[in-house]
Amino acid sequence: MSKKYNSLTALIKLWPFVKPYKKALFVAILGLLLNAITDSTLISLTKPLLDNGLMDKNYGLLITIAIAIIGLIALRGLSNYGSTYCLSWLSGKVITKFRQMIFNHLMKSPVSYHEKQSIGDLVSIITFNTQMLSKASSDALIILVREITYAVGLCIVMFYGNWKLALVLIILVPLIILVAQFIAKRFRETLTSMQKGMGEITAAADEMLKGHKEVLVFNAKEYERSNFNEITDTFRRGLLKIEFVSRLSTPIIQLIATCGLGLILYLVASQSLDITPGSFTVVFSAMVAVMRPLRELTSLHVELQKGAVACESLFELLDSPLEEDSGTIVANHIRGDIEFKNVTYQYPTAHSPALNNINLKINAGQTLALVGRSGAGKSTIASLIPRFYDLEQGEICLDSINVKDYTLKSLRNQIGYVSQQVHLFNGTIADNIVYGEKGQHSLEEIINAAKLANAMEFIDKLEHGIDTEIGDNGILLSGGQRQRIAIARVLLRNNPILILDEATSALDNESEKLVQEAIERLQKGRTSIIIAHRLSTIEKADRILVIDSGRIVEDGNHQSLIEQNGIYALMHKMQFNS
């Protein structure tokens, strides 16, 4: 459950991010103060202009006031520019820092965290929530500094004009506070639902774009359109509600201020007060002008609530646990011996263990195949070696050292991983082969890895060869081509341990043959763990394990398992129809 932040807590949490740029903050605050003071001073000049300049025909004073007005307007423009620029610069720095921290945090988050989160929600936090926090903080600062200073300045001007009329403000203040509390109380819940709505919009768009072919082939365009329309319409109604609540203060404040003006006019009309034209104009002008800061002050609660709500999601993400990386041993030049000792693993949301007391030893250079029905625990075994998940029972050792004792970076540098669902990045073929190690390999090395992976067979036919752009997630390539690029990526790194998670299960016969040839080259001299659905791809494995319900139920090579006439033999008969 996310921690609730009030306005003060949000400001305290934000300060460490603002502190490095406190000089810019100081200049911005100074500019806002000067801006408010010049506005108040301009109105105060109305009294001497009318009473002493025009009424007394003091033309020298009029010239002086004219020069003063020009100077004040120039100062006002300069201070407004300076404060706006500094706030924009400061907001840009803070929002960039937040986005970088969140991005880095998400990269270091465990796989289990990402499995529980919606991509749309996470993207919304990085984009929408950070932007909202930045804007809310800037707007709140402007209101706190400029509008409060302006309101105080106008009050001083009114007391300077006629202190009796200025006392009307005393009536307005408690009414303004009540309005502000009313607005703030109804705003927070609506704003929280809007954040969730933005995440739903992002998620819906992301799913449609990624699954566009499925949408077409299943004739689901109407369903997707209806679903997206419903989500966006709900979001629109939420925005309208926020606008209604936040703008509700304006007519109320105007009505309250107008009543104050009406009372002033009544007092003047009834001759209850002795007042000069200059004094009346100053008070009247200040009363009209004070509507703006009073109205803005009611929105201060709204802006602070926006910031507080944004803080909740941002800091909840930043407070989420990272991958445990307390190991100190740097894995270099390992042999590749792997051992599972009494390993039991249960996923956090599961009701029973995915693996149950697994004991297994894999010798360096050995090829081990894992077979079994879906959900038996094969992929879990493979995922535990690079520590995508961490054990609570048992241990996994690499070269007789617990994998937790290695640094994560050095451990994963020893492991080459190719899955059924290969992810390629938007860029060229060369960029994807060298991904993560850009600048560390020559073009000749990249091409050689592609040759060994049988990838040059199709790369040479492309107009731009290895520099061909492959689109988002390699959309311009076939499944077999994508797999061969993934294999080339592993070959380039020359990792001593290889994990293949059903790398050929979704390929046609021709592609499978090319990929299988590349895999056989890849396996040479490496400790290989192959998860296979097609048994024909693992017949040459040194050792085959049959996994069922998280346990090893059969262990041997292809021939010995056929002779046992157990589960493996039955699977083989079903696939080869013999």
pLDDT digits (tens, 9 = 90+) for 431-450: 989 988 888 889 999 998 88
Q: Tell me, what's the pLDDT at 537?
A: 81
Q: Which residue has the tokens 């960029």?
A: 431
What are the tens digits of pLDDT across the range 340-371?
999 999 988 888 899 999 999 999 999 999 99
Using CA atoms in the order 270, 273, 275, 279, what is the torsion angle rounded to 10 degrees? -100
| Cβ 134 vs Cβ 18: under 8 Å | no
Taking the alpha carbons at both ends of the chain, their separation in whole angstroms is 56
288: three-class secondary structure by DSSP: helix
The pLDDT value recorded for residue 527 is 92
Half-sphere exposure of 149 (CA within 13 A, CB side): 19
296-322 confidence digits (pLDDT tens): 776 676 677 777 777 888 888 888 888
**Between residues 549 and 214, which one has the greater pLDDT?**
549
- C-alpha 552/C-alpha 230 separation (Å) is 49
For residue 48, the 8-state DSSP code is I
Q: How confident is the prediction for the chain on average, in pLDDT?
A: 82
Say what the pLDDT of residue 71 is: 92
Give me the amino acid identity at 280. Answer: F
Q: Which residue has the higher pLDDT, 411 or 221?
A: 411
- Of 68-82, 204-218, 272-286, where does mean pLDDT reach its minimum? 204-218
Domain borders along the chain are: 7-196+241-318, 327-414+498-506+526-578
Instruction: Considering only residues 290 and 568, tell me which one the structure prediction assigns the higher pLDDT.
Output: 568
pLDDT of residue 1 exceeding 50: no
441 CB burial (10 A radius; 0-12, 13-18, 19+): middle
What fold does the segment set 327-414+498-506+526-578 form as a domain?
Answer: Rossmann fold (3.40.50)
Q: Could you give the C-alpha distances from 108 to 113, 130, 150, 321, in angstroms and in order?
A: 10, 19, 47, 9
d(CA 192, CA 306): 9
Report CA Rg, the chain.
35
The identity of residue 447, as a single letter, is I
7-196+241-318: CATH topology: ABC transporter transmembrane region fold (1.20.1560)
Pairs from 250-259 (Cβ < 8 Å, separation ≥ 24): 250/295, 252/179, 253/176, 253/179, 253/291, 253/294, 253/295, 253/298, 254/291, 254/295, 256/172, 256/175, 256/176, 256/179, 256/294, 257/172, 257/287, 257/288, 257/290, 257/291, 257/294
Per-range mean pLDDT, top range of 94-108, 254-268, 470-484: 94-108
- What's the average model confidence in pLDDT over 168-181? 65
Q: Over pLDDT 90: what percentage of the chain?
A: 20
Q: Is 70 exposed, middle or buried (0-12, 13-18, 19+ CB in 10 A)?
A: exposed
- Whole-number pLDDT of residue 526: 87
> Which residue did the predictor score with more confidence, 403 or 204?
403
| Cβ within 8 Å of residue 51, ≥6 positions away | 276, 277, 278, 279
Pairing of strands 367-371, 543-548: parallel
pLDDT for residue 508 is more than 80: no
Helices vs. strands in the chain: H and E counts, helices first: 24, 10
Quick one: what percent of the chain has pLDDT higher than 70? 84
What is the CA 344 to chain-centroid distance, rounded?
Answer: 34
Written as one string, the DSSP assignment of 312-350 is: HHHHHHHTSPPPP----B---S----EEEEEEEE--TT-
CA count, 13 A, side-chain hemisphere, 330: 1
Specify the 3-state DSSP secondary structure of 540.
coil
How much is the pLDDT for 330? 92
Counting other chains too, the contacts that 100-104 makes at CB distance below 8 Å and 24 or more residues apart are 101/318, 102/126, 102/130, 102/314, 102/317, 102/318
